[in-house]
Amino acid sequence: MSGNRGKTIVLWIFVIFGLVMLSAPTLVVLGASFTSGNIITFPPDGFSLKWYAKIAGASDLRGAFLRSLVVASICTVIAVPAGTLAGIALSKYAVRMEKTIQVYLLLPFTIPLIGSGIGLMLVLGNAGMLGQLWPVGLACCVINLPFMIWAVTASASGLDPDLELAAANLGAPPLQTFLHVTLPAVTPGIITGALLMFILALNEFLVSLLLVDAHIVTLPVQIYNSIRSIITPDLAAISVVFIACAAAAIFLLDRLVGLDIFLKSK
């Protein structure tokens, strides 16, 4: 079976290329954050935690990180009920004008981010709501809502409509059927969607950049603004905060629903 070996070799060349490309920036940022030198050099100057000590003492960075957490929480809190109900409605019921509603709900995804961001900036700005954090969270929720709906519709296939009928037949009123039968069936989707919404809002850069002013910058914007031509390791140390958050989200996702959920065919 020399043919099969050829297949394996070709596939693996691509996979290794992909792995290196995906992981290189993360690994390098991690490595650079532990350097003891004042600039990032290769090979590294030695091991130290001094950059972490430096960022821990920087109140502007701590503030930016807290603001990012607030934005991500607001986004998730709005997106979970809205996206869950919409996802269940789309996957369970024969809705009139289903195609139109689907295309409409895909708008956040099909409208380029810069377009959505500028549009929201104009709307929220004209309504006099800019300069606060919650409109940023709301905006992050709007632009990422399709992810929440996808996550829920994907797991709604695990919901057998007969189960709801059975519950009703046993005398459960509609709300009870919803809470005890429908909702548990789509829980994996809700968890996946909530984690996605949180992490995407935590990392959201462009919409944050458009909606924040100098007093309420979020962490990605703060990092972007601090990048200069000479690259210092303190930015690497802050970036590790994001790497840690990403790792925590992946761990949670794997524990609660299993990463394999993304490989399932619809």
Q: Which of residues 36-65 bind other proteins (CB under 8 A)?
A: 39-43
The alpha-helical segments, DSSP class H, found in 106-179 are 107-110, 113-126, 134-156, 161-169, 174-177
* Subset of residues 227 to 246 that bind other proteins, contact rule: CB under 8 A: 227, 230-231, 235-236, 239, 242-243, 245-246
220 touches other proteins (CB under 8 A):
yes
From residue 190, give the alpha-carbon distance in Å to each of 87, 94, 197: 10, 21, 10
Question: Which residue's entry shows tokens 């003891």?
Answer: 36
Residue type present at position 64: A
CA separation, residue 179 to residues 37, 147, 163, 176, 193 (Å): 57, 23, 13, 5, 18
Q: What is the Cα–Cα distance from 197 to 80, expressed in whole angstroms?
A: 8
In angstroms, give the least distance from the CB of 92 to other proteins. Answer: 7
Residue numbers 97-156 binding other proteins by CB under 8 A: 98, 101-102, 104-116, 118-123, 126, 138-139, 141-142, 145-146, 149-150, 153
Contact flag: residue 165 with other proteins (CB under 8 A) = no
Q: Report which secondary-structure segment, H or E, holds 2.
A: helix 2-33
Number of neighbouring beta carbons within 10 Å of residue 142: 18
Smallest distance, other proteins to C-beta of residue 38, A:
12
Q: 51 vs 242, which CB is nearer to other proteins?
A: 242
Task: Please report whether residue 12 would count as binding other proteins according to CB under 8 A.
Answer: yes
CB of 24 to other proteins, least distance (A): 6
Least spacing, CB of residue 144 vs other proteins, in Å: 10
Q: Does 183 engage in binding with other proteins (CB under 8 A)?
A: no
> Is 215 one of the binding residues for other proteins (CB under 8 A)?
no
